[in-house]
């Protein structure tokens, strides 16, 4: 089993950095050099294939996971399959599904898809086949909400809500702290779901360790007040997520990519930080890498914002995905308001809208080698053909995001 307690010192020794592309002035860029004088990548470099562990992705675009709740009784429908297949057909290199429950106590909704149960798994197989028929690749996001499941679940309301310390991201008491035996069961639930995904034909799996959900609740000292082996120091707080990653790796074998999504911010607390310094981030991500994680999906609200602006020199410009790659040498996925003029909380309420934004900042980051894949969220809800339009230079045809786009499966 991989070492999950002693991260190796790899900071500043990352390998496999993206080469800086020759700069070109293209219609969709405003600049061709960044503040350090490094060349921005060319737009066409976003369409070059890239490796994610053993998986060869045809371009650098991924679809970010977005909860849709269009799956009655946790079973994806033909409409959901078509929703993903259309985006594969339009050129998204890797689709990461909405969060998928791994266990009977993962979350509150009966309409979030599940990765257990015969009808549910059969439906996933049909969906995966539909995406593959369009030439796409797809990974499920394995999800347990922990305390964010709440106290009024409609899915298995008789089951307790479990988390590290029975605390929500806002600091309120919610549910109760899980026992060690319950944590072992949840760890095994993640592993079983990952194996089921592999058997259904998925090309990778992603662990949801961000946004204040269960795995993230262990990483953040605001929600982890445990006094056993899973709480206290940063090393101890990372132990359970690393055990989950190691169990998933053992279940799926050495080849299937295992992505870990993480964030600094939590739902309702955008100032929260699991790592206050680059060194802390190195220790945290290094432990997960040693446990078998293949790539890191760094969730931010604005992909262009520096993660540690207090750092002097060029590294002070790096976004969170750039720091993840620098710290581990593993592939990174960036995300956060790509192609849009404002962040999700501004446009997620009724009547909200976000206009189209150019990709100059994104190309500067690619030129610096900050990410391997860039995940697209709301732009793919409003415009399934966004990648195709960018590739073909049809920028004037790209649709803005409207809040009502989140309630359809276009």
pLDDT at 352: 78
Q: Are strands 332-335 and 295-299 parallel, antiparallel or unpaired?
A: parallel
Q: Name the band, by pLDDT with cuts 50, 70 and 90, for residue 39.
A: confident
Catalytic residues: 213
pLDDT at 290: 98
Mean pLDDT lowest for which of 31-45, 114-128, 270-284? Answer: 31-45
Q: Name the band, by pLDDT with cuts 50, 70 and 90, for residue 345.
A: low
Distance of alpha carbon 43 from alpha carbon 362, whole angstroms = 10
* Average pLDDT rounded to a whole number, residues 184-213: 98
Q: Are strands 373-376 and 353-354 parallel, antiparallel or unpaired?
A: unpaired
Cα angle, residue 35 at apex, residues 393 and 58 outer, rounded to 5°: 40
326 burial (CB, 10 Å; 0-12 / 13-18 / 19+) is buried
Sign of the C-alpha dihedral computed for residues 192, 193, 199 and 205 taken in this order:
negative
Distance of alpha carbon 333 from alpha carbon 350, whole angstroms = 29
Contact criterion met (CB below 8 Å) for 121 and 140:
no
Average pLDDT across the chain, whole number: 90
Distance of alpha carbon 236 from alpha carbon 230, whole angstroms = 5
Find tokens 């499966």 and name the residue. 409
Q: What is the DSSP letter of 367?
A: H
pLDDT at 36: 44
pLDDT at 403: 87
């Amino acid at each position: 089993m991989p070492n999950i307690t002693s991260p190796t010192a790899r900071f500043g020794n990352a390998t496999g950095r993206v080469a800086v592309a020759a700069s070109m002035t293209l219609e969709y860029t405003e600049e061709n050099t960044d503040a350090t004088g490094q060349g921005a990548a060319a737009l066409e470099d976003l369409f070059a294939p890239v490796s994610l562990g053993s998986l060869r992705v045809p371009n650098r675009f991924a679809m970010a996971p977005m909860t849709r709740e269009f799956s009655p009784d946790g079973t994806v429908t033909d409409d959901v399959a078509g929703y993903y297949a259309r985006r594969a057909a339009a050129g998204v290199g890797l689709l990461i599904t909405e969060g998928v429950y791994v266990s009977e106590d993962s979350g509150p909704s009966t309409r979030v898809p599940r990765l257990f149960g015969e009808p549910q798994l059969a439906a996933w197989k049909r969906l995966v086949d539909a995406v593959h028929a369009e030439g796409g690749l797809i990974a499920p996001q394995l999800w347990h909400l922990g305390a964010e499941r709440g106290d009024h679940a409609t899915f298995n309301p008789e089951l307790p809500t479990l988390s590290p310390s029975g605390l929500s991201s806002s600091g309120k008491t919610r549910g109760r702290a899980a026992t060690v035996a319950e944590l072992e069961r949840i760890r095994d639930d993640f592993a079983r779901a990952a194996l089921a995904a592999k058997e259904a034909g998925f090309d990778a799996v992603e662990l949801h360790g961000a946004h204040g959900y269960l795995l993230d609740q262990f990483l953040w000292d605001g929600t982890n007040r445990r006094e056993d082996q899973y709480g206290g120091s940063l090393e101890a707080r990372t132990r359970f997520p690393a055990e989950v990653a190691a169990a998933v790796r053992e279940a799926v074998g050495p080849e299937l990519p295992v992505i870990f999504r993480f964030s600094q911010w939590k739902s309702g607390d955008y100032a929260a930080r699991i790592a206050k310094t680059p060194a802390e981030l190195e220790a945290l991500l290094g432990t997960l890498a040693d446990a078998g994680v293949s790539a890191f999906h760094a969730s931010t609200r604005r992909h262009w914002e520096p993660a540690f602006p207090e750092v002097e020199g060029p590294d002070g410009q790096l976004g969170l995905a750039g720091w993840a790659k620098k710290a581990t040498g593993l592939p990174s996925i960036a995300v956060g308001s790509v192609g849009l003029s404002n962040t999700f909380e501004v446009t997620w309420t009724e009547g909200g809208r976000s206009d189209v934004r150019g990709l100059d900042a994104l190309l500067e980051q690619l030129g610096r080698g900050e990410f391997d894949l860039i995940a697209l969220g709301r732009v793919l809800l409003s415009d399934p053909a966004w990648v195709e339009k960018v590739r073909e230079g049809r920028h004037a045809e790209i649709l803005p995001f409207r809040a009502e786009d989140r309630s359809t499966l276009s």
